[in-house]
Structure 1
């Protein structure tokens, strides 16, 4: 499933072009030149053949809603071979956004998350935005720790993945899957 595009260290992939354009949480997709060089060909909006965006409330039920939205979108795009992988990636990214991108005591926790799917030929980019600013961390949990493998799942199913900050606050975590 990795195709011809190699995986890139997500930390290196976040060395973004700064000072040109800023991606705001109000924008559905970042401006030209925002994405890191290794993934730019897959993520720039100019080559998109289809896109879909879904606003998710900060509730546990949003994980199921996001999976259903992704499944319906991919089915409509005749990309059924990506369904299983995309549902796992969406589940992990939305769960992480709920768990790490928002806290109940934070006033931003009432803000919605956004799931965007962008198709470029046989590649589909999944991006989740949330109001949190902490970077996603690819952990190596011990065998006795519950959880902590979500980003490993995302990495194993995607061509590449990474994250970027949003202006004035928040972040987007994205992954590209190949048919």
Structure 2
């Protein structure tokens, strides 16, 4: 099953076994540069390369929604989309320096995969600086991302990713009944 999306917000590479520049479903050229296909990789794994811009958060949400729908896990879409949106936003705001040499076209990578009992959402970025939870003021418009991730996931953590950077991940419990049935 190939999954298509209505995402049109700029460049990104969301793919498993799809050549860059080809359409997700038909293999033709894609005009928005955002590609993915959940059929060509290992069962229960999908990855998405992002260009490190703020527009990547909605791209990540769409990627997760389409992927989980394809995996019959629609009941996880809302929480997983919020978690990856926060993970990607943190990576873009705090870890990507556009002026840094050698970050490449896709400095942020989102991976989602099924692990026994969990859906794991992981974002890799080029910075080795760990995420730092903090208390946001009541009237603050930012600063609650890690608290949201903590509230929605069973656990979250981070680790260094050689040769540089880190991966921040969160595990959301799978529904006890397995994939959603219609």
Aligned to 2:58: 64
Gapped runs of 5+ residues in structure 2?
1-41, 175-182
Is the radius of gyration larger for structure 1 or structure 2?
2
Aligned to 1:84: 78
Aligned to 2:134: 139
8 Å contact from structure 2 (residues 87, 123) kept in 1: yes
- Aligned-pair distance for 1:120? 2.6
Aligned to 1:52: 46
TM-score normalised by structure 2 residue count = 0.68
CA RMSD of aligned residues (A): 1.7
Gap change, CA 1:62 and 1:115, over 3 Å in 2: same
* Greater helix share, structure number: 1
Gap change, CA 1:149 and 1:123, over 3 Å in 2: same
Gap change, CA 1:111 and 1:172, over 3 Å in 2: farther
Q: Distance in 1 between matches of 2:48 and 2:90?
A: 17
Relative contact order, higher structure (CA 8 A, sep 6+): 1
Q: Distance in 2 between matches of 1:109 and 1:101?
A: 11
- Aligned-pair distance for 1:144? 3.8
- Aligned-pair distance for 1:110? 4.3
8 Å contact from structure 2 (residues 68, 74) kept in 1: yes
Aligned length: 132
Which has the larger displacement, 65-74 or 115-124? 115-124
- Aligned-pair distance for 1:146? 2.9
Runs of 4+ in 1 over 6 A off after TM superposition: none
8 Å contact from structure 1 (residues 111, 131) kept in 2: no
Aligned to 2:97: 103
Aligned to 1:130: 125
